[in-house]
């Protein structure tokens, strides 16, 4: 490269086009001059024909390896079939098919890069930049076009047309937005959202049953310190919208020593001999609070580490949750099985705007 | 490819000649080949980060297309009778069952699933690193501010594509992820409940969310990503690539290798390398074993649940909130415990998006910048970047707070408290340390230019004094160290035409002091000659 290709600071005005340099410190009198591009350093392959030949052979070897990889992948596809009765056959199929394809791709890529780096001419070349804004003529030309379009259409002059057009253009997309309303069912079909969130499947007398097999729970079977994952009786995958119902109705039953329980006066009748039932849905963002620490009576939400104290009304002792887990009032029926006294007295799960309305 | 003259007289004879002539007469493609065929691309390893993201996206489209041939985006309930015995007879959604089918019965199905998942992780990671490269080298400066915004949009779209895809198999882990989305939506003031119902088609989880996410994942978001990538690359062509400072590299030129053949060879080969690495990982390393999690059920959850890495900071921010911040105003519930972390994450994102405009306003520099900054030469910017990265990383670490607690046998509450403090202290500390390191490196650069490199040779002078010989650097090396723009803070604000000092100008002056008060300017020739220890041979220019 000769020095005539280089741009010095005075030429920089071309691209910089007289723009303000702001608070940049510029001192053309006292700054170094660009020495220009360094002389090209020849590679081994430029200097020694043997090195060049060796590189060429290396590239060919990579290409051959790539072809071998592709064939190997197809062979692997056939010779390592998946046997529907033997799950372990998935592993060799996945492994050898994948490695064959990977070899084919990698070798092709490495070969191509090797070719470009070792054998193609590596003299740096120069492109000249132009200011990003168009030339004066181009800008004048564009203005002329827009001007002509404006004159010929009367867009600027005919204000009534223009305004009515804008008005129409604003309204036209609205039906498309309104039509999104039915993404959620109508209140007449599914009920008012906030109202739906206030109720669960639990009613007075509903038996507490084990999740997921649905067997009822005798109060006498609940050991002190144990925790039982509970769903309402009759909730099976045959139930309509069973996941929706389950997402609100899951409960955790824990039995503590009666003297360990701290109970609010109005909730004293909600437990049965130290057995308490709390909603399992975290009041933060709704993960199941499924981890029980037996000796501390703490419930831990594995998603965001909200921690609730079962012995003390399941109130929040750590983590981002705001409210205690809602308690399900329970009792026992004639046969000694645990039953609900009623539904929850407050909405379960994460807060929502209408929650306290 | 040979391009032939379109003159009918010189009829081509070879097959390639005839074929290109056929194409030429129907497209005039020679114009494009002539214009762009030798387009120059500068070479630097850090320029490959964006390429990795682009190529990962191509791999995503290819592997994703394969998966759509077998996947059923339906929540219809089926009883499983496939080859994975542990789940035999269980009720699950068709989406989950078909994902098991892809994994265990379609040859290469598991491979494509794993390649797809790894490619998604790689796409967001490469895009993120590419953004950091752009940020720390100042490549977002005029005329590239708009392309920065396009790139930022691509990063956000990448996260959205990742999350929607992650949820599709309808497994226990991703179902809990959707449960969290439901909770976050419900926290939006006034309209939250409705937004959740609109998204899930009624109560959570409902029966439509998978098919809706599927539409977003395979059509809406990819279409937006492709459009944005097109715009992104179009602007790269319009602007021509930036280059690192160096001898012969100026704002008026671009020095590098031509598209044909060198850049095409390297970049084309690199695509296959990225693809090959992703397939190799997909064949060797299990990811997202949905069969181990089981189908979605709102009741169970496993300990140590983790989102994919790029969702980590959002999830981590949610975990760092202390208890009991929620209020009821006029009967409406406001869940600050969700709104505040969302807001903090949003502020981090927005400040990333608008940074180029802020810096341009502070410097008042309206010139185009095509030569990159070395990060040390923009100490305050680099420090701001480090602070933002620290805030992001703390939120990210918080998403694994429970795992840190179990792995290192420390109290999970303690981990959370430490991270809560770090979220505010960490960025400040990172800011000052980074800035000092940058200024130190700049001083070292000055030292080298003024005094040369310590050679390790000790000589004894006639007077008996021992000195170390400093070797002067050559003019190319020197140019690398002195070619950068230095900005000086606005010392005094001047009244405008009305004789007022506006709030804006005060603000700008204050910001400029914050940015450029601690400043080290490049060495000037006059400093070299003014009594400093003189390098022996000054190359003449």
Nearest chain B residue (CA) to A86:
B83
CA distance B239 to B7: 34
- Across the interface, do A19 and B280 touch by the CB < 8 Å criterion? no
Six token digits for residue A271? 């437990």
Give dist(CA B103, CA B96) in Å, integer: 11
Q: Tokens for A273?
A: 């001999």
The pLDDT score that the predictor gives to residue B9 is 53
The confidence score (pLDDT) of residue B541 equals: 37
A138: Cβ–Cβ under 8 A, 6 or more apart, which residues? none
pLDDT attached to residue B500 = 86
Q: Which residue has the tokens 């671009």?
A: B254
Mutate which of B279, B317, B328 to disrupt the A interface (most A C-beta within 10 Å)? B279
Q: B-contacting residues of A 109-148, CB under 8 Å?
A: 109-117, 120-122, 124-129, 131-132
**Contact flag B365-A93 (C-beta cutoff 8 Å):** no
Give the residue carrying structure tokens 């900054």: B373
Contact list, A321 vs chain B (CB under 8 Å): 323, 337
Whether residue A329 has pLDDT greater than 50: yes
Whether residues A193 and B193 touch (CB distance < 8 A) is answered with yes
Give B376→chain A minimum CA distance, Å. Answer: 17
Does residue B1 carry a pLDDT above 70? no
Query: Which residue among B104, B268, B365 places its CB closest to the CB of A90?
Result: B104
Per-residue pLDDT at A191:
74
pLDDT for B27 beyond 80: yes
Alpha carbon distances (Å) from B228 to A41, B47, B108, B132, B540 = 40, 19, 31, 19, 49
What is residue B220's DSSP assignment?
Answer: I
Give the span between the Cα atoms of B321 and B328, in whole angstroms.
18
Query: Is residue B538 pLDDT above 70, yes or no?
Result: no
> For B207, which residue in chain A has the nearest alpha carbon?
A241
Give B26→chain A minimum CA distance, Å.
28
pLDDT band at A342 (very low <50, low <70, confident <90, very high): very high
Phi-psi region of B516 (alpha: psi -120 to 50; beta: other; left: phi over 0): alpha
CB-based contact A183 B199, cutoff 8 Å: yes
Instruction: Give me the sign of the Cα torsion angle A319, B423, B356, B160.
Output: negative
Q: Residue B326 is nearest to which of A127, A193, A322, comparing CB atoms?
A: A322
For chain A, give every residue range classified as CATH 2.102.10.10.
Answer: 196-340
Residue A180 is predicted with a pLDDT of 94
Position A14 scores a pLDDT of 43
Q: Which CATH class is domain B45-69+96-304?
A: mainly alpha
Q: Do residue A302 and residue B108 have CB atoms under 8 angstroms apart?
A: no
The whole-number pLDDT of residue B46 equals 96
Q: Which helix (H) or strand (E) holds A293?
A: strand A291-293
**Any chain B CB within 8 A of the CB of A239?**
no
Based on the number of CB atoms within 10 Å of its own CB, is B459 exposed (0-12), middle (13-18) or buried (19 or more)? Answer: exposed
Tokens of B227: 């459009």
Best to test chain B binding among A323, A351, A354 (most B CBs inside 10 Å): A351
Contact B333 A12 (CB under 8 A): no
CA of B374 vs chain A CAs: smallest distance (Å): 16
Tokens of A48: 């020694």
Output the pLDDT for position A6.
Answer: 37
CATH code of the region A196-340: 2.102.10.10
Q: What residues have CB less than 8 Å from B229, skipping those under 6 apart? A: B54, B57, B154
Could you tell me what percent of chain B has a pLDDT over 70?
A: 96
- Partner-chain contact A113 B254, CB within 8 Å: no
Mean pLDDT estimate for chain B: 92
Nearest Cα to Cα of residue B315 among B384, B392, B251, B395: B395
Rounded to a whole number, what is the distance in Å from the CA of B344 to chain A's nearest CA? Answer: 15
Instruction: Give the pLDDT score at A20.
Output: 87
Three-point CA angle B49, B55, B60, nearest 5°: 125
If one counts every other C-beta atom within 10 angstroms of the C-beta of residue B423, the result is 21
- Alpha-carbon Rg for chain B in angstroms: 29
In this complex, how many residue pairs, one in chain A and one in chain B, have their CB atoms less than 8 Å apart?
407
- Short-list A289, B520, A158, CA closest to A298: A289
A119: nearest CA in chain B?
B262
Smallest CA–CA distance, residue B462 to chain A, in Å, is 35
Per CB-CB distance under 8 Å, the chain A contacts of B107 are 77, 81-82, 93, 97
Among A129-133, A266-270, B117-121, the range of highest mean pLDDT: B117-121
Average pLDDT over residues B42-70: 97
Residues contacting B196, CB < 8 A, separation 6+: A193, A352, B182, B185, B186, B204
Task: For residue B508, give every residue at least 6 positions away whose Cβ sits within 8 Å of its Cβ, in sequence order, or none.
Answer: B361, B362, B364, B490, B493
DSSP SS3 for B345: helix
Report the residue of A105, A301, A306 to disrupt the B interface, i.e. the one with the largest count of B CBs within 10 Å. A105
Look at B247 and A95 and tell me if their CB atoms are within 8 Å. no
What's the pLDDT band for B536 if we cut at 50, 70, 90?
very low
Residue B222's nearest CA partner among B146, B128, B96, B120 is B120
What per-residue confidence (pLDDT) applies to A84?
84
The band of B534, judged by pLDDT with boundaries at 50, 70 and 90, is very low
In tens, the pLDDT along A186-239 reads 876 767 899 999 999 999 999 999 998 999 999 999 999 889 999 999 999 888
Pick the closest to residue A322 from B187, B435, B40, B525 (CA basis): B187
Identify whether the C-beta of residue B171 lies closer than 8 Å to the C-beta of residue B96.
Answer: yes
Is B478's CB within 8 Å of A32's CB? yes
pLDDT tens digits, residue range A102-119?
Answer: 999 999 999 999 999 999
Nearest residue to A280 via CA among A345, A349, A333, A338: A349
Q: Give the whole-angstrom CA distance, residue A72 versus residue B481.
A: 52
Judging contacts by C-beta atoms under 8 Å, the chain B residues touching residue A318 are: 323, 413, 416
- Closest by Cβ to B252, choosing from A14, A19, A23: A14
Q: Which residues of A touch B331 (CB under 8 A)?
A: 356-357
Q: Which pLDDT score, from 0 to 100, does residue A2 have?
A: 35
Q: Name the nearest CA neighbour of A303 among A320, A279, A317.
A: A320
> Which residues in chain B touch residue A59, judged by CB atoms under 8 angstroms apart?
none
Lowest mean pLDDT among A99-103, B355-359, B517-521: B517-521
- CA distance to partner chain B, nearest, from residue A154 (Å): 32
Which tens digits make up the pLDDT trace of A232-272?
999 998 888 999 999 999 999 999 999 889 999 999 999 99
Q: Does A247 touch chain B (CB under 8 A)?
A: yes
For chain A, give the longest Cα–Cα distance.
Answer: 103
CB contact under 8 A, A306 and B85: no
Backbone angles phi, psi at B257, to 5 degrees: -105, 145
List CB contacts (< 8 A) between A20 and chain B: 364-367
d(Cα A5, Cα A127) in Å, to the nearest integer? 10
Q: CB distance A246–B476 less than 8 Å?
A: no
pLDDT band per the 50, 70, 90 thresholds, residue B496? confident
**What residues in A contact B190, CB-CB < 8 Å?**
353
pLDDT in tens, A45-86: 999 999 999 999 999 999 999 999 999 999 999 999 999 888
What was the pLDDT predicted at B499?
Answer: 84
From the number of C-beta atoms within 10 Å of its C-beta (0-12, 13-18, 19+), residue A156 rates as exposed
Res. A11: pLDDT tops 60 = no
**Average pLDDT of the segment spanning A323-332:** 96
* Nearest-Cα residue of chain B relative to residue A5: B248
Contacts of A37 in chain B (CB under 8 A): 247-248, 255
Q: Label residue A12 by pLDDT band (50, 70, 90).
A: very low
CA dihedral of residues B407, B292, B176, A305 (deg, nearest 10) = -20
- In angstroms, the separation between the Cα of residue A258 and the nearest Cα of chain B is 27
Query: Where along chain B do its domains lie?
Result: 1-36, 45-69+96-304, 436-529
Assign A321 to helix, strand or coil: coil
Over range B503-530, report the average pLDDT. Answer: 90
pLDDT digits (tens, 9 = 90+) for A155-189: 999 999 999 999 999 999 999 999 999 999 887 67
pLDDT level of residue B8 (50, 70, 90 thresholds) = low
**The pLDDT of residue B469 is above 50:** yes
pLDDT band at B535 (very low <50, low <70, confident <90, very high): very low
Question: How far is Cα B196 from Cα B204, in angstroms, rounded to an integer?
Answer: 8
Residue of A nearest to B102 (CA): A90
CB contact under 8 A, B301 and A287: yes
Residue, of B493 and B287, whose pLDDT is higher: B287
For B352, residues 6+ apart whose C-beta sits below 8 A from its C-beta are: B131, B135, B152, B388
Q: Flag whether pLDDT at A5 surpasses 60.
A: no
- Over the stretch B132-166, which tens digit does the pLDDT of each residue have? 999 999 999 999 999 999 999 999 999 999 999 99
Average pLDDT over residues B70-89: 95
Contact A109 B335 (CB under 8 A): no
End-to-end CA gap in chain B: 43
CA angle, residues A20, A23, A29, in degrees to nearest 5? 80
User: Is the CB of A99 less than 8 angstroms away from the CB of B283?
Assistant: yes
Q: Tell me whether 0.90 is exceeded by the ipTM.
A: yes
| Measured distance CA(A336)–CA(A272) in Å, rounded | 11
Q: Compare B362 and A294 and report the one with higher pLDDT.
A: B362
pLDDT digits 0-9 by tens, A95-104:
999 999 999 9
**Burial bucket for residue B155 (CB in 10 Å: 0-12, 13-18, 19+):** buried
Residue A16: predicted pLDDT: 56
Is the predicted pLDDT of residue B3 greater than 70, yes or no?
no
């Amino acid at each position: 490269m000769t020095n005539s290709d280089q741009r010095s600071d005075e030429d920089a005005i071309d691209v910089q086009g007289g723009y303000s340099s702001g608070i940049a410190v510029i001192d053309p009198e006292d700054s170094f001059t660009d020495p220009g591009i360094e002389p090209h350093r020849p590679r081994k392959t430029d200097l020694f024909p043997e090195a060049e030949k060796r590189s060429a052979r290396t590239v060919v070897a990579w290409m051959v390896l790539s072809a071998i990889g592709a064939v190997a992948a197809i062979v692997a596809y056939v010779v390592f079939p998946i046997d529907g009765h033997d799950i372990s056959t998935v592993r060799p199929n996945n492994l050898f098919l994948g490695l064959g394809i990977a070899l084919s791709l990698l070798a092709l890529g490495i070969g191509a890069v090797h070719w470009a780096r070792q054998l193609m001419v590596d003299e740096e070349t120069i492109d000249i930049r132009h200011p990003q804004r168009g030339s004066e003529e181009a800008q004048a030309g564009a203005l002329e076009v827009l001007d002509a379009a404006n004159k010929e259409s009367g867009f600027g002059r005919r204000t009534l047309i223009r305004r009515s057009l804008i008005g129409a253009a604003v309204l036209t997309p609205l039906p498309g937005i309104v039509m999104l309303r039915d993404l959620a069912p109508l209140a007449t079909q599914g009920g008012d959202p906030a109202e739906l969130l206030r109720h669960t499947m639990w009613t007075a007398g509903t038996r507490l049953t084990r999740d997921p097999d649905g067997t009822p729970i005798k109060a006498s079977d609940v050991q002190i310190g144990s925790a039982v994952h509970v769903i309402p009786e009759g909730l099976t995958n045959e139930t309509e919208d069973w996941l929706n119902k389950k997402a609100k109705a899951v409960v955790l039953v824990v039995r503590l020593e009666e003297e360990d329980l701290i109970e609010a006066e109005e909730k004293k009748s909600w437990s049965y001999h130290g057995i308490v039932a709390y909603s399992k849905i975290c009041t933060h963002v709704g993960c199941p609070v499924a981890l029980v620490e037996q000796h501390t009576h703490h419930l831990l939400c594995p998603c965001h580490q909200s921690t609730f104290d079962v012995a003390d009304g399941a109130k929040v002792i750590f983590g981002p949750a705001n409210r205690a887990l809602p308690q399900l009032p329970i009792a026992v029926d004639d046969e000694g099985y645990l039953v609900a006294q009623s539904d929850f007295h407050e909405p379960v799960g994460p807060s929502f705007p209408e929650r306290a309305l | 490819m040979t391009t032939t003259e379109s003159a009918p007289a010189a009829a081509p004879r070879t097959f390639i000649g005839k074929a290109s002539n056929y194409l030429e007469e129907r497209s005039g493609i020679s114009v494009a080949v002539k214009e762009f065929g030798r387009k120059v691309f500068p070479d630097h390893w850090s320029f490959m980060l964006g390429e990795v993201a682009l190529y990962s996206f191509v791999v995503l489209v290819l592997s994703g297309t394969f998966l759509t041939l077998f996947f059923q985006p339906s929540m219809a309930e089926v009883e499983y009778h496939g080859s994975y015995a542990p789940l035999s007879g269980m009720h699950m959604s068709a989406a989950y069952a078909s994902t098991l089918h892809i994994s265990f019965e379609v040859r290469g199905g598991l491979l494509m699933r794993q390649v797809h998942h790894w490619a998604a992780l790689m796409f967001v990671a490469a895009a993120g690193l590419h953004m950091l490269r752009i940020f720390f080298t100042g490549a977002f400066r005029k005329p590239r501010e708009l392309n920065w915004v396009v790139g930022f949009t691509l990063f956000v779209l990448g996260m959205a594509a990742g999350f929607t895809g992650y949820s599709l198999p309808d497994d226990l882990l991703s179902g809990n992820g959707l449960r969290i989305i439901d909770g976050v939506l419900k926290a939006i003031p006034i309209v939250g409940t409705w937004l959740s119902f609109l998204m899930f088609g009624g109560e959570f989880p409902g029966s439509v969310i998978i098919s809706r996410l599927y539409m977003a994942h395979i059509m809406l978001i990819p279409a937006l990503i492709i459009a944005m990538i097109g715009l992104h690359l179009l602007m790269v062509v319009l602007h021509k690539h930036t280059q690192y400072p160096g001898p012969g590299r100026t704002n008026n030129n671009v020095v590098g290798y031509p598209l044909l053949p060198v850049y095409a060879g390297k970049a084309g080969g690199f695509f296959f390398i990225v693809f090959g690495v992703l397939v190799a990982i997909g064949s060797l390393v299990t990811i997202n074993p949905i069969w181990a999690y089981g189908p979605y059920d709102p009741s169970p959850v496993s300990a140590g649940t983790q989102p994919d890495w790029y969702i980590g900071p959002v999830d981590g921010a949610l975990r760092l909130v202390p208890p009991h911040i929620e209020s009821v105003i006029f009967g409406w519930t406001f869940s600050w415990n969700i709104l505040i972390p969302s807001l903090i994450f949003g502020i981090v994102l927005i400040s990333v998006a608008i940074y180029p405009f802020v810096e341009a306003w502070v410097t008042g520099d309206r010139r185009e910048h095509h030569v990159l900054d070395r990060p040390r030469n923009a100490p305050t910017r680099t420090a701001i970047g480090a602070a933002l990265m620290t805030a992001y990383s703390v939120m990210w670490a918080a998403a694994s707070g429970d795992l840190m607690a179990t792995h290192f046998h420390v109290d999970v509450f303690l981990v959370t408290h430490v991270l809560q403090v770090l979220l505010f202290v960490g960025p400040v500390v990172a800011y000052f340390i980074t800035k000092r390191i940058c200024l130190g490196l700049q001083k070292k650069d000055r030292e080298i230019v003024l005094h040369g490199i310590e050679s390790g040779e000790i000589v004894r002078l006639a007077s008996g004094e021992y000195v170390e010989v400093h070797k002067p650097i050559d003019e190319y090396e020197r140019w690398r160290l002195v070619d950068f723009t230095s900005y000086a803070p606005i010392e005094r604000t001047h009244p405008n035409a009305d004789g007022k000092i506006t709030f804006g100008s005060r603000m700008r002056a204050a910001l400029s002091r914050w940015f450029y008060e601690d400043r080290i300017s490049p060495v000037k020739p006059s400093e070299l000659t003014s009594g400093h220890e003189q390098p022996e041979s000054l190359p003449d220019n």
